[in-house]
Chains A and B, each alone.
Chain A
Amino acid sequence: MSPMKLCVPGERLCSTEDCIPGTGTYLRHGYIFASLAGYVLRKNEGEELPVISVVRETEAQLLPDVGAIVTCKVTSINPRFAKVHILYVGSTPLKDRFRGTIRKEDVRATEKDKVETYKSFRPGDIVLAKVISLGDVQSNYLLTTAENELGVVVAHSEAGVQMVPISWCEMQCPRTHAKEFRKVARVQPEYLQA
């Protein structure tokens, strides 16, 4: 492997006629510049032009953005919404704490008006959700779990044991066999390993 090209912020990488700007870059006067210190990567993604991006070993400073899948921990619940801390964006852990809100109407896609937040989440649950808006001045990131793949992935029963999902809306404690309601995410393979 030839040594990869390195760059620092402000370096001109190429013209927009040669590449499409990817992450870690920005456009100015028809040229693509690096906005990060890292390795320059050109990748063909089936498009006419390769995508040029700058990557660091530690992922770029991701902030939760609209459409991103995030992993969060539920911190509190009330009848209208659940408050969470966002721990991961995609598979990148966040170093600092960001708060988010899952409103009642965003818990699931169907029968929105019958949702009860208490039967969907409990504090301490690990939830997979998607960012729908950055929120306004008063509220934080707005998240949704209204997709099959989204919802609770790890939850502990009242006995303190990690529960196993038994349907899309129930989980069971392996010790007491008590069932508890949750908005359960369809299990994804990578989460089984954890």
Chain B
Amino acid sequence: MAAGFKTAEPLEYHRSFLKENCRPDGRELGEFRATTLNIGSINTADGSALVKIGNTTVICGIKAELAAPTVDAPESGYIVPNVDLPPLCSSRFRPGPPGEKAQAASQFVADVIESSDVIQKKDLCIEKGKLCWVLYCDIMCLDYDGNLLDACIIALLAALKNAQLPEVTINKETDLAEVDFQKKNRLKINRHPTASSFSVFDDSVIIVDPTAEEEGLSTALMTVVTDEEDRLCMLHKPGGSSLSGEKLQDCINRAVMRNREVSKLIDKVMESVKAKK
């Protein structure tokens, strides 16, 4: 009845593994799950990417639309990220408006975009005060097995890199916009942030890339976002047990390493997509 132990006393079950410095799925404490990436698979989107971290699957599709810039910032466009956790991805989510978790994730992604400057909003401006791009970055989770945030950021970054926008000019005579779908331009990616999530077990043991079950049993969660120049963009630790400075530094170091791995992955996949064309 080993399976019985697992369902009846899940916490004890996990502890028994952590004692041996390993995890129920055979990973070491500091090991990420296999991460795969698929870019540009959605033809109806202007840019798209599908990311799998272990079982967790996230898809990001970017749709660009035209709008007038705000009066406060006539030279910048909009980036509107939304994360959706449909009931498809796990039985814990119900149909209807987004729950707390989805709202928090959307806000997190928006904060990362803001603080890391992944795209400079003024690059999205077409004509000052008149016309600019709106990038709707819709992120949908298709399989929820923990560590949603890491997957979201990778998907977002890869989809942005994949995105191509048609050329828009403003006709001087009619003062109307004209779109040329023959000429397409890529977005200028300013920074390459990646996120790394950690979860704290029994206030002391830190593991990376937690699964959904590990997230549920842990006493605290933390996400560190760094960019390609090892700068810390964001640190997200919503409550839970406290953490020493030393441990935090370890996490940041691990996050820096993770950034290299992810960048390599994105570049490799981008290359192979280009090679195909």
Contacts and interface: CB of A to CB of B under 8 A. Distances in A.
Asked if A and B form a direct contact in the complex, defined as CB atoms under 8 angstroms apart, the reply is yes
B91 A96 contact: yes
A126 B4 CA distance: 11
A193 B8 contact: no
B15 to A, nearest CB: 15
Contacts of B8: 73, 87, 126, 154
A74 to B, nearest CB: 12
A88 B91 contact: no
A136 interface: no
A190 B1 contact: yes
B5 interface: yes
A16 to B, nearest CB: 37
Contacts of A87: 7-8
Interface in A93-147: 93, 96, 126
Nearest to B4: A194
A71 B1 CA distance: 12
Given A87-B7, A126-B8, A194 B1 contact: yes
Given A190-B1, A193-B1, A93 B7 contact: yes
Contacts, number: 17
B3 interface: yes
Interface residues of B, number: 7
Contacts of A96: 91
Nearest to A93: B7
Q: How large is the interface on A (under 10, 10 to 19, 20 to 34, 35 or more residues)?
A: 10 to 19
A194 B91 contact: no
Nearest to B8: A126
B187 to A, nearest CB: 43
Nearest to A154: B8
Interface string A168-194: 000000000000000000000011011
A194 B7 contact: no
A193 B3 CA distance: 12
Q: Which of B3, B4, B5 has the most CB of A within 10 A?
A: B4
Given A73-B8, A87-B8, A191 B1 contact: yes
A86 B192 CA distance: 48
A190 B3 CA distance: 13
A41 B7 CA distance: 30
A126 B91 CA distance: 25
Contacts of B7: 87, 93
Nearest to B91: A96
A88 B1 CA distance: 11
Contacts of B1: 190-191, 193-194
B88 to A, nearest CB: 16
Interface string B1-23: 10111011000000000000000
A126 B1 CA distance: 13
A118 B24 CA distance: 37
A193 B8 CA distance: 15
B13 to A, nearest CB: 12
Interface in B1-58: 1, 3-5, 7-8
17 contacts: A71-B4, A73-B8, A87-B7, A87-B8, A88-B4, A93-B3, A93-B4, A93-B7, A96-B91, A126-B8, A154-B8, A190-B1, A191-B1, A193-B1, A194-B1, A194-B4, A194-B5
Interface of A: 71, 73, 87-88, 93, 96, 126, 154, 190-191, 193-194
Given A193-B1, A194-B1, 12 more contacts: A71-B4, A73-B8, A87-B7, A88-B4, A93-B4, A93-B7, A126-B8, A154-B8, A190-B1, A191-B1, A194-B4, A194-B5
